[in-house]
Amino acid sequence: MYLYTLHFCFIWIMAKKSNKNNRSGATPAIEESAVGRDGTVIRNTGSSYVVLTDGDMRTIDCRIKGNFRLKGIRTTNPVAVGDHVTIMENKDGTAYITEIKPRKNYIIRRASNLSKEASILAANVDQACLVATLAHPSTSTTFIDRFLATSEAYRVPAILVINKIDLLSATDDNNKGDADLLDAVTYLYRSIGYKVIQVSARTGEGLGALQDALAGKITLISGNSGVGKSTLINKLIPGLELKTGEISDVHDTGMHTTTFSEMFPLPGDAGGWIIDTPGVRGFGTIEFDQYEVSHFFPEIFRLSSNCRYGNCTHTHEPACAVRDALNDNHIAMSRYNSYLSILADVDPDKYRAPQ
Ligand SMILES: Nc1nc2c(ncn2[C@@H]2O[C@H](COP(=O)(O)OP(=O)(O)OP(=O)(O)O)[C@@H](O)[C@H]2O)c(=O)[nH]1
Ligand SMILES: [Mg+2]
Ligand SMILES: [Zn+2]
Residue 286 in domain: no
Give pTM, 2 decimals.
0.88
> Residue 173: what pLDDT?
57
- How much distance in Å is there from the Cα of 319 to the middle of ligand 2? 46
- Please tell me whether residues 202 and 59 are part of one structural domain: no
Alpha helices of the chain — where are they, by DSSP H? 2-23, 141-153, 178-192, 207-214, 229-236, 298-304, 321-327, 333-346
- How much distance in Å is there from the Cα of 228 to the middle of ligand 1? 3
* Distance from C-alpha of 95 to C-alpha of 100, rounded to nearest angstrom: 14
- The CATH code of the domain that includes 170 is 3.40.50.300
> Residue 52: what pLDDT?
98
> Residue 202: what pLDDT?
97
Asked whether the predicted pLDDT for residue 264 surpasses 70, the reply is yes
* Distance from C-alpha of 333 to C-alpha of 104, rounded to nearest angstrom: 34
- The CATH code of the domain that includes 66 is 2.40.50.140
Among 239-243, 306-310, 343-347, the least confident range: 343-347
What pLDDT, in 10s, does the model give residues 128-169? 999 999 999 999 999 999 999 999 999 999 999 999 999 987
How many structural domains comprise the chain?
3
Ligand nearest to the CA of 319: 3
What pLDDT, in 10s, does the model give residues 221-258? 999 999 999 999 999 999 999 999 998 888 888 889 99
- How much distance in Å is there from the Cα of 267 to the middle of ligand 1? 21
Which residues sit with Cβ closer than 5 angstroms to ligand 2, an ion?
229-230, 257-258
The larger pLDDT score, comparing residue 281 to residue 133, is at: 133
**What dihedral do alpha carbons 150, 154, 158, 160 form, nearest 10°?**
-10
106 touches 123 (CB < 8 A): yes
* Distance from C-alpha of 164 to C-alpha of 131, rounded to nearest angstrom: 10
Q: 355: Cβ–Cβ under 8 A, 6 or more apart, which residues?
A: none
- Please tell me whether residues 117 and 235 are part of one structural domain: yes
The larger pLDDT score, comparing residue 65 to residue 214, is at: 214
290 touches 346 (CB < 8 A): yes
> Residue 251: what pLDDT?
84
